[in-house]
Amino acid sequence: MRYLPLNDADRAQMLEVIGAASVDELFIDVPPAAHLTGPVDLPPHAGEMEVEAQIRALAAKNLSPSRAAFFIGAGAYRHHIPASVDHIIQRSEYLTSYTPYQPEIAQGTLQVLYEFQTQVARLTGMALANASLYDGSTAAAEGVLMAARLTRRRKAVLSGGLHPHYRETVETLAQAVGIDTEALPPEVDAEAAVLRHIGPDTACVVVQTPNVFGTATDLSKIAEAVQAAGALLIVVVTEVMSLGLLKSPAEMGADVVAAEGQSIGVPLSFGGPYVGLFATRDKYLRQMPGRLCGETVDAEGRRGFVLTLSTREQHIRREKATSNICTNSGLCALAFSIHLSLLGQEGLKRVAKINYAKAHALKDALMAIDGVTVLTPRFFNEFTVELPKPAAEVVEALAQKGVLGGVPFSRLHGGGGFENWLIIAATETNTEADQAQFVAALTEVLA
Amino acid sequence: MRFSKEHEWIKDQGDGTAFVGISNYAAEALGDVVFVDLPEAGRVVKQGEAFGVVESVKAASDIYAPVDLEIIEGNPELAGDPEAVNAVPEQGAWLVRVKITDPSQLEALMDRAAYEDFLGTL
């Protein structure tokens, strides 16, 4: 049976109420060129086996990370995820993609989110973390909106080291609520440049460390200057594994940390779903976006977990909620929490050190190739090089040789002038053979 | 004491200052108040503009300025004792002490009898 809830008479009645002559009239804002004039050109239906065979053939055209020497980062990182993570997240006490709207029924989910918040707070050093957001970029945008509410100022300064996808997400959401953004031009060692752009109308400054070019920056001086001007410092972290080794954002004076948690527990998955981490100072609790899980006791005095401070949220405060774009990424947060629990504090440090060592060894090896200039001065597991020819072409040629050799910056940034810049990451998953293959392939491609 | 349609009251002290709070009706409607978010001293607020939030177990409601005003202080007692907003909304639990910019605006607000009539229409 086909499910057709409306008949023509229903439609006519609805159109009459809103004063439209036809359904087509509802689409007049869509430019004619984008209208569909006939049926979509698709083959007729096929049997399940045929479809499977066809899709499998298409999928085989991909070069998957597991079959290549893989050096891609720029916001999404390949790390080892223990098999136990996948096993544990599928337990029925946990398996849910969302925090339930009758939350207290799901004590297992709530306890995990509570532990997750504790982990995020300890990782970033901040007093307070929420139960996660969509991803790092929306977390950054939420930070900007929160800063505008707190300061009642309407301008955000975005560092030239901010990942361009994050910049675009912030710009999209900020302009919709009348917040101006000033995005500084891309620069490898860019974070301190924000200092020249802070004014009396600045609500916040968004910086990133390690930034999109891999540069790690001590933000302490920047934090002092930003706060002296009455603005908030929002620190973006796209590679959360770096927090196992680098100074925490809180130690450097961050007011808000907006991070991508994918590196811990979440596979690359063609770009999502990922998990946004959001942490801030205690005093901003009531302006923080997103769900918050709290510990309490039940009527009999037993420990239990609740969602708390929900009056900030959209199902109660509607358009005045602290966020109307947020959700939490329950399943990814669960995976994050389990992976981090398995690693522990020492394990995280150890993995972080391996990342650092692999990336620095790779840098030394690549530097020895004629025509390769390393641009990034201080880094964790990712750095940017300048090549003697367009990076997009080099990356294609490397892929032919079974090497996924990084992300050309021109792929992320629309403006010209960066065609020869290549962002390269190395993690604990890269073997010495991977590195040797990369060095040999790049040497050949540039010869 | 004069009332606004947004259920705030304002009590003119006769020296250019006044206290502002929420009415018995508003406190009753909100339910148990758990937090009051008040503005910092010196903030200038236009009539009808939100300047704070009263948060109860079931809702968080903006507080609107009944007239143009400048904040002198928020009630320091309420941080530790938000329940006072339920207990004595029209007596001790004032929310802010303010400077009134334009006293003539008070005239346009309702007196108690008019406010009671207004509540009857809701």
- Written as six digits, the tokens of A333 are 């947060």
Question: Is A5 inside a domain boundary?
Answer: no
Q: Is residue A11 part of a domain?
A: no
> Based on the structure, what is the number of domains in chain A?
2
3-class secondary structure for chain A?
A: CCCCCCCHHHHHHHHHHHCCCCCHHHHCCCCHHHCCCCCCCCCCCCCHHHHHHHHHHHHCCCCCHHHCEECCCCCCCCCCCCHHHHHHHCCCCCCCCCCCCCHHHCHHHHHHHHHHHHHHHHHHCCCEECCCECCHHHHHHHHHHHHHHHHCCCEEEECCCCCHHHHHHHHHHHHHCCCEEEECCCCCCCHHHHHHHCCCCEEEEEEECCCCCCECCCCHHHHHHHHHCCCEEEEEECCHHHHHCCCCCCCCCCCEEEEECCCCCCCCHHHCCCCEEEEECHHHHHHCCCCCEEEEECCCCCEEEEECCHHHCHHHHHHHCCCCCCCCCHHHHHHHHHHHHHHHHHHHHHHHHHHHHHHHHHHHHHHCCCCCEECCCCECCEEEEECCCCHHHHHHHHHHCCEECCEEHHHHCCCCCCCCEEEEECCCCCCHHHHHHHHHHHHHHHC
Task: Assess whether pLDDT exceeds 90 at residue A375.
Answer: yes
If asked whether residues A73 and A177 sit together in one domain, one would say no
Task: Choose among A269, A256, A270, A194: nearest CA to A225.
Answer: A194
Lowest mean pLDDT among A121-130, A178-187, A290-299: A290-299
Residue B79: its pLDDT value, please? Answer: 87
Q: Are strands B60-64 and B2-3 parallel, antiparallel or unpaired?
A: unpaired
pLDDT at site A6: 87
User: Residues 16..75 of B with a Cβ closer than 8 Å to A: which?
Assistant: 35, 37, 53, 55-56, 58-60, 62
- Interchain contact, A316 vs B35, CB within 8 Å: no
pLDDT attached to residue B86: 94
CB contact under 8 A, A316 and B56: no
pTM confidence score: 0.87
Kindly state whether residues A358 and A299 are assigned to the same domain: no
The C-alpha angle with vertex A387 and arms to A384 and A389, in degrees rounded to 5, equals 140
Mean pLDDT across the stretch A282-291?
A: 91
pLDDT at A309: 81
Contact A311 B62 (CB under 8 A): no
Asked if A175 and A252 sit in the same domain, the reply is: yes
Q: Quick one: average pLDDT of A419-431?
A: 97
What's the length of chain B? 122
Q: With an 8 Å Cβ cutoff, is A317 touching chain B?
A: yes
Q: Considering only CB atoms, which chain A residues are within 8 Å of B35?
A: 286
For B2-102, the fitting CATH number among 3.60.21.10, 2.40.50.100, 3.40.50.720, 2.60.40.1180 is 2.40.50.100
A316 interface with B at CB cutoff 8 Å = yes
CB–CB of B85/B27 below 8 Å?
yes
CA distance A225 to chain B (A): 23
A88-92, A272-276, B16-20: least confident range: A88-92
Q: A341 to chain B nearest CA, in Å?
A: 34
C-alpha distances (whole Å) from B17 to each of A87, A156, B52, B96 are: 66, 37, 18, 10
Q: What is the mean pLDDT of chain A?
A: 93
- On the question of pLDDT at A97 being above 60, the answer is no
Average pLDDT, stretch A426-445? 97
Residue A323 falls within a domain, yes or no? yes
Give the gyration radius of chain B's Cα atoms.
13
Q: How far apart are CA A252 and CA A223, in angstroms?
A: 7
A306 and A405 together in one domain: no
CB–CB of A286 and B59 under 8 A?
no
Task: Read off the pLDDT of residues A188-213 as tens digits, 9 standing for 90 and up.
Answer: 998 999 999 999 999 999 999 999 99
CATH of the domain at A440: 3.90.1150.10
Residues A371 and A402 placed together within one structural domain of the fold: yes
Rounded distance between C-alpha atoms, residue A224 and residue A72, angstroms: 34
A320 touches chain B (CB under 8 A): yes
Of A339, A360, A380, the position where a domain reaches its end is A339
Say which of B37, B58, B62 has its CB closest to residue A286: B37
Say whether both A364 and A422 belong to one domain: yes
Same domain, A334 and A280: yes
- CATH classification at residue A225: 3.40.640.10
What is the count of residue pairs from A and B with beta carbons less than 8 Å apart? 17
Instruction: Mark whether A313 and A423 lie in a shared domain.
Output: no
Residues 6 or more apart whose Cβ sits within 8 Å of residue A43: none
Q: Which residues of A touch B53 (CB under 8 A)?
A: 286
pLDDT higher than threshold 80 for residue A38? yes
- For residue range B84-114, list pLDDT tens digits in order: 999 999 988 999 999 998 889 999 999 999 9
Based on the fold, state whether residues A298 and A310 are members of the same structural domain: yes
Which pLDDT does position A98 carry in this prediction?
A: 58
Q: Which of A339, A361, A392 is the last residue of a domain?
A: A339
Q: Is A57 among the domain residues?
A: no
pLDDT of A1 above 80: no
Q: What is the pLDDT of residue A100?
A: 63
Q: Say whether B58 and A316 touch across the interface (CB within 8 A).
A: yes
Which positions ≥6 away from A196 have C-beta within 8 Å?
Answer: none
Percent of all residues in chain A with a pLDDT value above 70, rounded to a whole number:
97
Residues of chain B in contact with residue A316, where contact means CB-CB under 8 angstroms, are: 58-60
Cβ <8 Å between A312 and B37: no
Range of the domain at A187: 83-339
Q: Is A138 contained in some domain?
A: yes
**Same-domain status, A239 and A383:** no
As a whole number, mean pLDDT of residues A362-376 equals 97
Predicted local confidence at residue A99, as pLDDT: 58
Asked whether residue A162 is domain-assigned, the answer is yes
Confidence band of A445 (pLDDT split at 50, 70, 90): very high
A142 within a domain of the structure (yes/no): yes
Q: Give the span between the Cα atoms of A83 and A382, in whole angstroms.
A: 26
CA distance B108 to chain A (A): 28
> CA nearest A374: which of A406, A421, A412?
A421
Buried b (16+ CB within 10 A) or exposed e, A182-191: ebbebbbbbb
* Confidence class for position A311, pLDDT limits 50, 70, 90: confident
Residue B10 φ/ψ, nearest 5 degrees: -140, 130
* Distance between start and end Cα atoms, chain B: 21
CA dihedral A289, A129, A277, A93 (to 10 degrees): -100
Which residues does chain B have within 8 Å of residue A317's beta carbon, measured at their own beta carbons? Answer: 59-60
In the predicted model, is pLDDT for residue A328 greater than 80?
no
- Asked whether the beta carbons of residue A312 and residue B58 sit closer than 8 angstroms, the reply is no
Kindly state whether residues A199 and A293 are assigned to the same domain.
Answer: yes
Looking at the structure, tell me whether residues A326 and A381 fall in a common domain: no
Q: Please judge whether A316 and B59 are an interchain contact, meaning their C-beta atoms are less than 8 angstroms apart.
A: yes
Who among B37, B56, B62 is closest to A320 (CB)? B62
- pLDDT by residue for chain B (122 residues), tens only, comes to 999 999 999 999 989 999 999 999 999 999 999 999 999 899 999 999 999 999 988 788 899 999 999 999 999 999 889 999 999 999 889 999 999 988 899 999 999 999 999 999 98
**Residue-range domain boundaries for chain B:** 2-102
Average pLDDT for A151-161: 96
Domain boundary among the residues A297, A316, A339 is at A339
Own/partner contacts of A296-299, CB < 8 Å, gap of 24 or more, are none
pLDDT tier for residue A96 given thresholds of 50, 70 and 90: low
Average pLDDT over residues A209-232: 97
Confidence tier at A322 by pLDDT (50, 70, 90):
confident
